[in-house]
Each structure stands twice: as structure tokens, then as C-alpha cells.
A and B are shown apart, each in its own frame.
Chain A
Amino acid sequence: MFEIFDYEFMRLAFIGGTVVAILAPTIGIFLVPRRYALIGDGLGHIAFGGIGLALFLKFEPTATALAISILAALGIERLRATGRLSGDVAIALFLSGGLAIGLILARLAKRSTDQLWTYLFGSILTLKAEDLLWMIPLALGVLATVFLWRRELLYSTLDEETARASGVAVSGINLLFVLLTAITIVLSMTIVGLLLISALIVLPVAAALQRARSVRQAYLLALLVSLISVYLGLIGSYYLDTPPGPTIVLSALGLFGGMSVIAGRP
């Protein structure tokens, strides 16, 4: 059964998958209770717009997507903080705007739809060793930052008003958080594609929240669900010859469903 590791691309896919599987719930555990899931989606679509722009201007696609979504993240957080971003409508603008711009610019750049497909649905099987060289340090940076600020992040997530009143730098923390979210989204885009990112970020956490009784438990459980989903999805896609991104998300959905059923029992 381990012949799948005979292939270099599969080994790379597992490493890349592991990186994202660890990162996604680390962000998700704060994103879900903040009801930012849509912001995640919005940033993903904006990143896609960035890809289109990069193809048009012949820039490096991922780096451009990263820069654009970081800028967008800062903008979104500003709008949210001043109360001018009333959720749904603004996010919908970002969602459709990013996608439309990405598609139009890519067409103008005369790129084949195949290349866009990889950003929409992920390209974990075409990961190269060079990709991991930038993905892993960036991921470690995000993990370390979350670890160092975990208490502040948690306080601002659970009770923003009280945290602010007692002098926690909530605005800075929120800014830091959307930045980390933007980075995580661009990293995940290479694995599951932008259309399925929020599933990867939200589903394992949502599954864990049904069973967990403490924050620590919720995080560890979400991490476990996330890793299992990614591994199950990768192995499944290899043997069933299905696209890996959607297979990973379906695995997560399956685990989420399974855990809801278990949690439903007394």
C-alpha cells in the first residue's frame, strides 16, 4: 500500500499537505468563532484576482497573490473595524470582483484555462521541491506568530470588548490575524485551490467544536481531523483517480458528518 510513496510527486504532496493541514486549523480555531469564514473566502478570491494580474503583467503568480491578499486583508480589517463592512454585501463584492478580475486578466494574458484550473482547484500533485522551500518557512512563521500571540488572539476572539477594556491591543491583534489569514490562504490555495480553501480552514474546526470541552482539546482535535482529511484525501485521490483538492475536502466533510452523528448521541 505504500507504493504511493515511491513517487516523488506523492512525497512532495504529502509534505505540502501536512504543512497546510497544520496551518489551516491553527487559523481556523480563531476564524470560526469570529465568524470570519466568509472573509477567508473573500481573501481567496482576491488572491485569485492577484493571480490573474500576475499572469497579465508576467509577475510571479504566488508572490503577487500573496502581496495582493495581504493588502486586501489590511483593507478589509480597516473596513470591519470602522464598522463600514457589514458582512455579506461587502464580502460578496470581494468574492465576485476577485474572481471576475482574475478570469478576465488571465484571458487577456492569453493563458490556457488549465493554468487557472490549478489555482481554482489546487495543484498539490504538481508541487515542486522549490515550492516547499518558500512554503515551509512561511508556514513556520505563521505558526510561531500564532503561538506567541495565542492568548491575546484567544481573548480578542472570545470577548473582544472586555479584552479591549483591559488594555489588550485588540486592533493590532485583529490586524495581525487577518495578515496571518491571508498568508494561510495563499499557502492553502496551492493545495486545495481557492474554491475549497474555506472548507479546509472551517470544517476540521467545526468538527472539533462538536466534541471538545476545552480550547486546547478543540485545537488538538481540529489538527487531527485536518491531518486525517488531507492524508485520506491524498490516498483516496491516488487510488480512485479523483482530483486531490476536492477529495481532501470530501474527507473533511465526511469526518465532520461522522463527528456530528457521534456528538448527537448521549
Chain B
Amino acid sequence: MPIGEAVIEIEDLSFSYGAEPVLEKISLAVQRGDFLGVIGPNGGGKTTLLKLVLGLLPAPPGCVRLFGQPLEMFKERARVGYVRQRALSLEQRFPATVEEIVSLGRVPRLSRWRPWGSADTRAVRAALRAVEIEELRERSIWELSGGQQQRAWLARVLAQEPELLLLDEPTTAVDPRAEAEFYGLLEKLNREQGLTVVLVSHDLETIARQVTKIACLNKRLLYYGVPEECSHPILEELYAGKRVLHHGHGWASSPSPSQGEGTG
């Protein structure tokens, strides 16, 4: 392994779906144990950036490294966990229990030569325990509240035992209290288990307390550093007077006046 502890290295990454560039010359590095918050307006390219890192979209060769290896060569995808935006689009309300959903998280760890075993059952139990929904495991996923469902998706990805966790606006359709609890949970996993976390969120305010680093993304990377130094002018430029659709929370203008906790 070259370059010690870097988990994600992005260098000069540009991307477009069509003619119009969506990301331009992004460079950043995420170290092991970091808790990175990615913020930006709708259409700023946050989801696109995650998908590039995950290999769901084709990144230009040589721009992205995971765990020190070029993305093109990286095969140990099970080390990377992903909770996607609007995770709840299970087709046609297909019935499944929480335990069945969470068990899917083990699939990347299985193979024809390593079928389901007691270690997998233990990992599923541990994941359910970590997000405190053990007692819901027999329940149908459709009978849960938004916050409980969100925990189920987190449990599924935790069952995978990833070293790096990428979450794309995971608190969609969750009330502010459940959201705060959820972020607290992430912070705990980050601090106690050393899990590297990249969290996409709609604004700084909700995640400033948990994250150790912040990336402001609107096509270009406008800021990358500790949240305390992410100043008001940067946020002004980031949102450039745009209104931001807070998924699941209706419309609100950004940046919100109370954000930015001064310089620490």
C-alpha cells in the first residue's frame, strides 16, 4: 500500500453526462477516520461525485484512488458501504422484513466458496444492535417509521462491515429529532470504530457538529477543510442565492442565517 492512510484520493477529476460539465477539477483526499461532510445546492454534483467514487459512473482513469489503489484496479468493493439518496424505492412495495433487508448487506462478503455462516448471522445482529433496532427485526420494512427505515438502511450497510461509508442525504423524510439521532449514531461509529464517513447533506448547519471536514461542492470544489473555517462568503457563493430543496423538508432558502458557529 502506497500513501499511508488515505482512503479516498481524488485528483483533478472532471465529469459530464453530456456536453455540460457537472464536476470540474475536483481534488481532495479523505484520510482514515475522517468524517467528511459534502454540502452544496441541488444539482451541485454531490451524488455524481459519490457515484464516481463508487464506480457506478465511469471516472476518467487515474483520477480516483481508493485505499491507495487506482479505482480501475480496485476489487474489494465490499470495503466500501453506500447508502443512496432516497434509499426507499424498493420496487412495488415488495415485502421484506428488517432482518431480510439487513442480511442483504452480507451478500458482498459471501461467495460460492464462502456461503452464509454464523459469522454472517452475528454481523447482522451486531448491525441491528448498533442502530438500536434489534426488536424490530421481524417487522416488515413497510411498517416502520421514516427514521426507523433509515436505521434499517444503515444497519444493512453496517452488516457489510465496510471501512469507508458513503451516505447520500440519508435523512430524507426524517424529522429533525430523528435526523439528529441518526447523525449522532454516525458520529459514534466514526469515533468509536474508526469508520471513515463521507456524508452528503443539504446544508452545513445540520452536520457541522459531527463532521471533522467539510467540502463545499457546486460543480467546483469551493472549499475543503475544517467546518469552523467555512465562512459565510463561501456559503454565499456556494448557494449563490439559489433556493435549495431540502429533500423531504419542503423549500427553504440557503444559507440559513444561523449557520457557521464562528471561528473555533
Contact = CB atoms under 8 A, between A and B. Distances in A.
Interface stretch (B74-82, B179-187, B249-257): B74-82
B77 A165 contact: yes
Q: Which of A157, A161, A217 has the most CB of B within 10 A?
A: A161
A33 B83 CA distance: 21
B80 A166 contact: yes
A213 B82 CA distance: 26
Interface stretch (B26-34, B95-103, B226-234): B95-103
B95 A165 contact: no
Given A157-B91, A168-B107, A209-B92, A214 B116 contact: no
A224 interface: no
B54 interface: yes
A154 B97 contact: no
State which size class the interface on B falls in.
35 or more
Contacts of A151: 103-104, 106-107, 110, 116
B104 A214 contact: no
A218 interface: yes
B92 A32 contact: yes
A214 B96 contact: yes
Interface in A11-42: 32-35
B56 interface: yes
A34 B54 CA distance: 23
B140 interface: yes
Contacts of B92: 32-33, 35, 209
A215 B96 contact: yes
Contacts of B56: 161, 164-165
Given A159-B104, A165-B54, A165-B56, A213 B95 contact: yes
A12 B188 CA distance: 63
Interface of B: 54-56, 75-78, 80-84, 87, 90-97, 100-101, 103-108, 110, 112, 116, 140, 157, 160, 162
Q: 9 closest pairs, A vs B, by CB?
A: A167-B77, A33-B91, A165-B82, A166-B108, A213-B140, A165-B54, A214-B97, A212-B95, A33-B94
